[in-house]
């Protein structure tokens, strides 16, 4: 465990104490706890909040002792369940905030930590759960996964990125850990007898999902550190920190184009390779490499032959990734001190590895006594599902409850019908945490309105696939009411089992041969919405007594970070100022000055609650560097004098305090993708290009290239009132293609685009 992680864990209790005392506001605390892997959960009243702790499990590698620790912590501090995620992490739910420091320390003692489990950080690095025992793999990628994890998480720059950075290793071309779909992916191959990787980059699921593109056809195994470092620096420089909805690496690729994206990556890689990079020694992990043995051709939905003859891996699937304290405790007792090893899987399960053939039948029998649903004969009956609206603030629908309803329905069917369905994936909203776009069949939660009431729905996605060279995302086909989906799937199983075309090809080939039309035609029989009086149940989500609503939904915390904190301080300063003017309150004027000064310090990496330090650092970082007029130094001095009791009033400074707040907000709106202020320095008369832009309803951005033209457009539109019109002059090509789309994505209305006589364009925008 790197020293930086230990240091951050040791510093965390003081933050919790400040938060509980009210000395640290919620938004600022969120920006510190989320990168520590601690998220607030939905459904709790103020003062009764509970939190989820997401524990990093690199490559799914977890010992039986560590699992027992996690289980005990879930009982002592949580809800008595552990949850396995689609990123091989383990989560503990419903923890009180005052208990989180103790949880973190006990995790650290077990060699575990949630550091980087959330926020704009290097997230848990995926690995093939069967790596090391899979007869078809090129080689075991577990050492590479663990070594790269250790290399990245010891560096603080890995925890202050524009957005999350996701990496994956797959040990064979079937790509069972989604390397072709991550920000950075490594697929193991051998070339001329050397171990190495084919490298993919710029992929990702979520808003505007993208498949990765090939960055390297082959690199030797010791270059994984250099490539990951190069991509991290590239992302750090080019990721859009000003818009967290377009901050992921795939948006950098969209902005630059594939060719320029690869060229830039190559530039950063050359820079890294020229350095004496201090990397991890892969030989430290040599004992984790696979054993050698003969392949035996044996497969099953839950059973895999290992490389060594007579040994098997057994896959357990937990419903919605949850396993109770008693069940996990019994399971760990069954495994005892044996040499059997464990891996968490991206399908929310556990892979038991190294089971001797003669032990299999007895082990499965005992596991069935613990829970008969852990060993699943047909994976189509056990959907992968995110937590949805059950705990997540972004969730629309309660996806785990739909998953349970589907399973209850499908297990009533015969084995032939159960086997006809492929793996099903469910997300409670468009954010793809349930990976619905990679499944042959996927469902995406959404809300639709009928008869002036909301009805929970899911979009049916068809055709997703993951395999090196053949990965693709599924496409939405039709929306189905949530309450009709289990019955639809039961009828779909019958359709597929009876269709001779389907029996001869795989699911996606079947779709291409006319099967998609048949499935949509079937789904159309389940989409009619009766009136509320005819069927009130369809207006409710699964497992809910009340009518469907979006109550409790709010901003998610995955992207908690610097921009949220800056905006909070600016808004607080404005509120302080308004109250001060209304009530002639000197204390509020003082607070307004401090909050305005503190807001932008986050851009400089400064986070302090000491007023004297705030005012001093603002002078150093903004006034002395000519980003704020030197005249405002007088205001800061007066504020400090007031605090010390040397003067009685700040009312004579209220105009200057207002000007300070406005200048700070102007600077905030001018931040570019790198969190840099690309403005001319202020002069004593405040006469500069950006002030002219600010005062004008026409802004000329001809000659300004992407993405700075968008930044300057944002600066120009920021001070306008809602509904005001701004005309922007832009060059043809990328500027007129990209800026309107970017402004529209932020909610502004594009009224017109007209070509001018000089070949440029005039863009008319109405502020949101």
- In the chain, DSSP finds a helix count (H) and a strand count (E) of 24, 24
Query: What gap in Å lies between CA 529 and CA 455, rounded to an integer?
Result: 9
Q: Does domain 562-670 have CATH number 1.20.120?
A: yes
> What pLDDT is recorded for position 689?
37
Give rounded-to-5 percent helix, strand, coil for the chain: 45, 20, 35
The reply to whether 384-539 shares the fold of 119-287 is: yes
Q: What is 119-287's CATH number, 1.25.40.10, 2.40.50.140, 3.40.50.1820, 3.30.413.10?
A: 3.30.413.10
10-residue mean pLDDT series, the chain (768 residues):
91 94 85 91 82 96 96 97 95 96 97 91 95 92 95 88 94 94 97 95 89 96 96 92 81 94 96 91 68 40 80 91 95 89 94 91 93 86 88 84 94 90 91 90 88 86 92 94 96 91 84 93 95 93 87 55 71 92 94 93 73 93 91 94 93 93 88 64 44 54 78 81 87 85 81 85 90
**How high is the pLDDT of residue 675?**
65
Please state, in angstroms and rounded to a whole number, the distance separating the CA atoms of residues 239 and 608.
Answer: 26
> Can you tell me the distance from the alpha carbon of 741 to that of 19, in angstroms, rounded to the nearest whole number?
40
Give the integer Cα–Cα distance in Å for 226 and 279: 8
Three-class SS state of 425: strand
For residue 89, the SS3 value is coil
| Helix or strand (DSSP H, E) at 535 | none
The residues annotated with a catalytic role in the active site are 706
Fold of 698-767: Translation Initiation Factor IF3 (3.30.110)
Q: How far is CA 517 from CA 183, 306, 482, 502, 507, in A?
A: 34, 40, 21, 13, 13
188: CB partners within 8 A, 6+ apart: 137, 138, 139, 141, 169, 170, 171, 172, 195, 196, 197
H or E stretch at 237: helix 224-238
The ranges assigned to domains in the chain are 1-117, 119-287, 303-370, 384-539, 562-670, 698-767
Q: Give residue 287's pLDDT.
A: 59
Tokens representing 450 are 């009928």
Q: Tell me which CATH code domain 303-370 carries.
A: 3.30.70
Compute the distance between CA of residue 455 and CA of residue 579 in angstroms, rounded to an integer: 43
pTM, whole model, 2 decimals?
A: 0.76
In three-state secondary structure terms, 639 is helix
CATH topology of domain 1-117: Sulfite Reductase Hemoprotein; domain 2 (3.90.480)
Count of residues making up the chain: 768
Q: How far apart are CA 736 and CA 759, in angstroms?
A: 11
C-alpha span between 574 and 663 (Å, rounded): 12
375 and 364 in contact (C-beta within 8 Å)? yes
CATH of domain 384-539: 3.30.413.10
């Amino acid at each position: 465990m790197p020293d930086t992680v230990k240091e951050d864990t040791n510093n965390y209790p003081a933050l919790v104490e400040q938060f509980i005392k009210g000395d640290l506001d919620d938004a600022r605390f969120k920006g510190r706890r989320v990168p520590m892997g601690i998220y607030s959960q939905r459904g709790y009243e103020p003062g009764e909040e509970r939190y989820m702790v997401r524990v990093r499990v690199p490559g799914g590698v977890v010992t039986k002792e560590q699992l027992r620790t996690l289980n005990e912590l879930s009982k002592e501090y949580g809800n008595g369940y552990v949850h396995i995620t689609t990123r091989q992490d383990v989560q503990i739910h419903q923890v009180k905030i005052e208990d989180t420091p103790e949880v973190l320390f006990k995790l650290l003692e077990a060699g575990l930590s949630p550091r980087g489990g959330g926020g704009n950080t290097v997230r848990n690095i995926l690995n093939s759960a069967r790596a090391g025992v899979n007869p078809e793999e090129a080689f075991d990628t577990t050492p590479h996964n663990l070594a790269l994890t250790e290399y990245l998480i010891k560096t603080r720059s890995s925890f202050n990125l524009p957005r999350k950075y996701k990496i994956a290793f797959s040990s064979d071309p079937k790509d069972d850990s989604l390397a072709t779909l991550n920000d950075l992916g490594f697929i193991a191959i051998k070339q001329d007898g050397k171990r190495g990787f084919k490298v993919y980059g710029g992929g990702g699921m979520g808003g505007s999902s993208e498949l990765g593109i090939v960055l390297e056809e082959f690199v030797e195994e010791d270059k994984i550190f250099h490539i990951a470092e190069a991509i991290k620096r590239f992302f750090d420089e080019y990721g859009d920190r000003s818009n967290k909805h377009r901050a992921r690496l795939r948006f950098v690729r969209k902005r630059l184009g594939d060719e320029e994206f690869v060229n830039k990556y190559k530039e950063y890689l050359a820079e890294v390779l020229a350095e004496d990079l201090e990397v991890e020694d892969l030989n430290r992990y040599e004992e984790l490499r696979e054993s050698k043995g003969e392949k035996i051709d044996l497969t099953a939905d839950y059973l895999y032959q290992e490389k060594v003859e007579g040994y098997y891996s057994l896959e357990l699937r937990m419903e919605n990734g949850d396993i109770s304290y008693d069940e996990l405790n019994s399971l760990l007792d069954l495994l005892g001190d044996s040499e059997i090893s464990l891996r968490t899987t991206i399908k929310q399960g556990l892979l038991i590895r190294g089971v001797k053939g003669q032990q299999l039948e007895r082990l499965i029998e005992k596991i069935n006594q613990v829970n008969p649903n852990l060993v699943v004969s047909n994976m189509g009956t056990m959907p992968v599902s995110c937590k949805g609206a059950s705990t997540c603030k972004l969730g629309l629908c309660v996806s785990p409850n739909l998953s349970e309803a589907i399973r209850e329905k499908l297990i009533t069917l015969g084995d032939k019908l159960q086997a006809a369905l492929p793996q099903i994936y469910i997300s409670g909203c468009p954010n793809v945490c349930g990976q619905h776009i990679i499944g042959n069949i996927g469902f995406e939660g959404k809300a639709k309105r009928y008869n002036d009431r909301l009805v929970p729905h899911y979009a049916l996605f068809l055709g997703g696939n993951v395999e090196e060279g053949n990965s693709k995302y599924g496409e939405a086909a039709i929306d189905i009411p949530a309450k009709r989906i289990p019955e639809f799937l039961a009828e779909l199983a019958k359709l597929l089992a009876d269709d001779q075309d389907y029996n001869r090809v795989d699911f996606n080939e079947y779709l291409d041969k006319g099967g998609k039309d048949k499935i949509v035609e079937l789904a159309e029989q389940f989409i009619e919405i009766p009136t509320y009086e005819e069927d009130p149940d369809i207006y409710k989500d699964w497992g809910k007594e009340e009518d469907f609503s979006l109550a409790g939904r709010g901003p998610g915390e995955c992207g908690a970070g610097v921009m949220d904190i800056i905006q909070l301080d600016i808004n607080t300063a404005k509120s302080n100022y308004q109250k001060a003017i209304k009530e002639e309150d000197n204390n509020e004027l003082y607070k307004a000055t401090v909050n305005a000064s503190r807001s932008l310090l986050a851009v400089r990496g400064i986070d302090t609650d000491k007023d004297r330090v705030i005012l001093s650092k603002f002078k150093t970082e903004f006034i002395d560097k000519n980003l704020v007029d030197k005249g405002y130094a007088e205001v800061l001095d007066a504020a400090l004098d007031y605090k010390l009791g040397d003067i009685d009033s700040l009312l004579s400074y209220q105009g200057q305090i207002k000007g300070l707040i406005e200048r700070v907000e102007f600077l905030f709106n001018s931040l570019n993708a790198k969190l840099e202020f690309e403005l001319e320095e202020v002069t004593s008369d405040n006469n500069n290009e950006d002030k002219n832009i600010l005062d004008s309803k026409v802004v000329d951005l001809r000659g300004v290239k992407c993405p700075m033209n968008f930044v300057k457009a944002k600066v120009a539109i920021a001070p306008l009132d809602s509904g005001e019109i701004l005309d922007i002059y832009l060059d043809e090509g990328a500027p007129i293609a990209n800026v309107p789309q970017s402004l529209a994505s932020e909610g502004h209305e594009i009224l017109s685009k007209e070509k001018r006589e000089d070949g440029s364009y005039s863009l008319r925008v109405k502020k949101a």
